[in-house]
Amino acid sequence: MSKFDEKIIFYKQNMDKMGLAYEDELFNKVTRGLGPSIFKRDAASVSTSDEKEIFTVKHNFLIKKLGLEDGEYLDKAIVKVAEMMGITNRVKYRAIFYYLLVKELGQESKILS
């Protein structure tokens, strides 16, 4: 089993513990799109208490990668996903966070195409 496959299993186990559903193909593509960052301790998670980190999620992923227009709806989606993962949950894995953002914003077609 590859290291990538091991990470996918690890993330899905985390999602199961949080009671979050996932679609295999979409989750795998979102995770693969993150490249080697999933293997780096600091880059593998999102700090929702860090404004710079939230700016990075919004601008690099939502606006640049998904091509979304900047707006309050992006901020609301980020807050909602953080709540879904648990405000007190200190480790919010980037792959899961981004997957949930894609689902929340209805952008599956941009990832699966």
Task: Provide the pLDDT for residue 46.
Answer: 96
Task: Provide the pLDDT for residue 113.
Answer: 83
Question: Is domain 3-112 in CATH 1.10.238.120, yes or no?
Answer: yes
Give the pLDDT means over successive 10-residue stretches in the chain (113 positions). 96 96 97 96 94 96 97 97 93 97 97 90
Q: Give the Cα separation of 33 and 28 in Å (integer).
A: 9
Q: Give the Cα separation of 49 and 71 in Å (integer).
A: 20
Would strands 45-46 and 92-93 be described as parallel, antiparallel, or unpaired? antiparallel
